[in-house]
Amino acid sequence: MSGTADHTRRSGRPAHGEPILERAFKVLGAFADAGESLPLKTLASRAGLPKSTTSRIAAQLVGVGALERLENGEFVVGLQLLEIATLAPRGHGLRAAALPLMEDLHRVTRQHILLAVRDGHEAVLVERLSAHGAAAVKYRVGGRLPLDTTGIGIALLAYATEQVREDVLAKAAAPDRVRQLMAMTRSEGVCAAAVPNPVDDGPATMSTVAAPILDGAGAALGAVSLVAPDEAGTQVASRIALRTASLAISRALEATPASARQATTGRRYAD
């Protein structure tokens, strides 16, 4: 979540009638990295709001615990947001079912194991297990991932609505390749590919194998993936392991009470 969307006029003033809640989320969305602290000037620039407006909103957010202000005057995300975020049903139920399988994969591979759900035209990372010696990756828990350039994103995109797929493919740099990987996901239950590494000082590409987590009707509840710095992540053994894990997670979710399962699927939420 970069918070860089430009909803301002050329004068720098917020759009006429823009709700205060929307402006508050622009301020919160300005934080891009875990543990990041921002001075007011940067916060206002990223949020696309005047400094005076940003200062007023930031002060209100500090008052309710959504932001905290450091001694040097910079702002950081507050613990109140973490407390609220842990209650999100789509991530919580899925994470509880997936974590034992993810831990097994992590112990065997000693690489990054990711769990994500789709939110509109992006994926949101729900959990990440990483070994100390694993190559650095950019994405953090709660962060957003593209659907067309990450293995876990493509696994989710393969089961998205037709409109979402068309929207993403229209902007993709390599739409034919994305289509091939989506077809692979639907036919084999996994997709495996080399993808760009957004970390500048790491390997130029990372290998990934990802598998969708489906419900009984064939809708994607989420996806799990293995990310590694070489081709080991896309070998047959890794594909089998991810496919097996995704099926086990699906069964675990089906075994949960109906009310909890409905919250996990997120069918009440807009595409």
Q: In this predicted model, what pLDDT tens digit does every residue of 233-253 receive, in sequence order?
A: 557 888 999 999 999 999 998
Confidence at residue 85, expressed as pLDDT on a 0 to 100 scale = 66
Q: Is the pLDDT of residue 92 over 90?
A: no
Tokens of 86: 């842990």
Handedness of CA 271, 25, 143, 30 (dihedral sign): positive
For residue 147, what are the β-bridge partners? none
Highest mean pLDDT of the ranges 73-82, 120-129, 169-178:
169-178
| Distance (Å, whole) CA 68 – CA 77 | 6
Q: Between 28 and 166, name the one with better pLDDT.
A: 166
Residue extents of the structural domains in the chain:
20-84, 89-265
Contacts of 96 by beta carbon, 8 Å cutoff, 6+ apart: none
Average pLDDT over residues 140-150: 88
CATH topology for the 89-265 domain = Beta-Lactamase (3.30.450)
| Distance (Å, whole) CA 42 – CA 26 | 12
- Which residue type is seen at 218? G
From residue 270, alpha-carbon distances to 7, 31, 121, 132, 195 in Å are: 22, 25, 11, 37, 29
- The band of 177, judged by pLDDT with boundaries at 50, 70 and 90, is very high
- The band of 195, judged by pLDDT with boundaries at 50, 70 and 90, is confident
CATH topology for the 20-84 domain = Arc Repressor Mutant, subunit A (1.10.10)
- The band of 10, judged by pLDDT with boundaries at 50, 70 and 90, is very low
- The band of 226, judged by pLDDT with boundaries at 50, 70 and 90, is very high
